[in-house]
Chain A
Amino acid sequence: MIRITDVTLTTLDLYDAKPELLRKMCEHLLEAEVDFIELSVPVYLKTGPLPRGGKYILRINDPLEAINYLEFNNFICRHNGYDRSPSIINEIQVNDMREINSLTQFSKLENVRLTGLDDILNHDYISLFERITKNISGRIELCPENRYYSATGIAVEWILNGGTDIVASFVGSGGFAPLEEVLLALRICKRHKPNLDLSVLQELKELYVEITGKEIYSHKAVIGEDIFDMEAGIHVNGIAKSPKMYEPYEPEIVGNSRKLIIGKHSGTSAIVFKCRELGLKLPKGLERKLLIMVQRYSIKKQASLNDEEFRMIYCKLMEDV
């Protein structure tokens, strides 16, 4: 069994988000079938009643605060680590791999979240994972931090090596493993929920942008707007024959679509496809000529062409012949 906890909402403490947007984010996270949604107290107070059907975890500063929130069954708390209440997840920060040896002091806790471990992949991580599970007998959630750009790799390896619980956040908000990457990686490498429609990731992206005002890089793994664009002749040709050739998964799975871009790296087959797409009749033998004109224009522009520019170049060619 794999259980994923999403902590995006906890990381949105500082944003003045409207309650309906926060609720919407909960709903979308549930659609993405995350198992638990974590919220901080300020976000919870702002959000109000949470969407039904979800399992929520409230982040508190002291185990004694739990009594104030009877509507919650699960809490996470960073404290002295000796509260053995099953409803409390004890969060322990691990900054150095040598600290793994001292985890034995928490061996009797029922729920533990290990946060940090950002450079574990630089070490013998498989042995370290084994040592973690040996030192703690309860349920262990791994919450890798992304300081070394390896959090997704750590989360995936934890699962592939027998771990069951991981923590992530959308777009890696707050410096954790990006949820969207973890979901796709587990789908491909572990066949975890292989039929789940993840097009909701696009809606989550829009919400995240609206709440934080941050832009998402257009080539961001899994959710970037342009990740299924294709320009290079070799790729256009390959994808036309079989998308599997140059795509690790179908764009529709994540609510995206392929776009044919025309530019410096296009080949003649891309030119032919584009003409067909725009309803332009290109007489045989002119493909190469049009390609050269397109490439020159693209180099001058230092970018690819939009459809209008392509049409203009096509018309110019047709006037000349």
Chain B
Amino acid sequence: MKASIPTRKKVKLEWFKSKSKLTIERKIDIQYTSNSVFSNKINQYAIVKYILLKAGEPVEIPPNSPMVLYKNNLPFLFLNISECVGSKIISEDMIDDDILVDDDIVHVKEGDPKISFEDAKSPKEHIEVRTRYDRISRLINIENKLEEPIDIEINFKQTKDITYIKSTPQPTEIEEPTYKFKISIPSESKTKITLELQAKIVKRVTKIKPEYLEKQK
């Protein structure tokens, strides 16, 4: 393309114009630690990204280029491009402020501790390992404040300490260690997921061996 670029000026040039298919991907990634699983309330976020499948020849757009979404000829969202693969233009991940996620604890059932011992550094000491398995029930409330229905994917990722027992509703797909829930939420409505989890709680205390305690007396 031919153009004139004057000194100390910005020049805007038309590059391409084409149709595209638009997909909006929303997800909530949930993962707990043995500490956070007992929190009364956890702030979770819905992550949104826009994927455009451009018709015609692919274009290469550098990452971090700005993108403006228009609806009814009015700009409604300013964001950046995260990557461009062939005809696919993918926006950056953003926290969707119009989807509210409340993650609250409902119930905790403490398990019986099992005690075992491990060697300590000093021969006069040993480590008392108390292991117990607690059952925790958490309720995740998702509210769609948008004026349109949405599809959202909730991904619960289990860890070595926090494992999945059951849930309401059942996961749509299980890809160990991730349990996926694909749900649709109508406009200005709420939906909820109950997760029943098992937490492995391990406490280690270094103690003087009983035989040495007696000798000290």
- The answer to whether A binds B is no
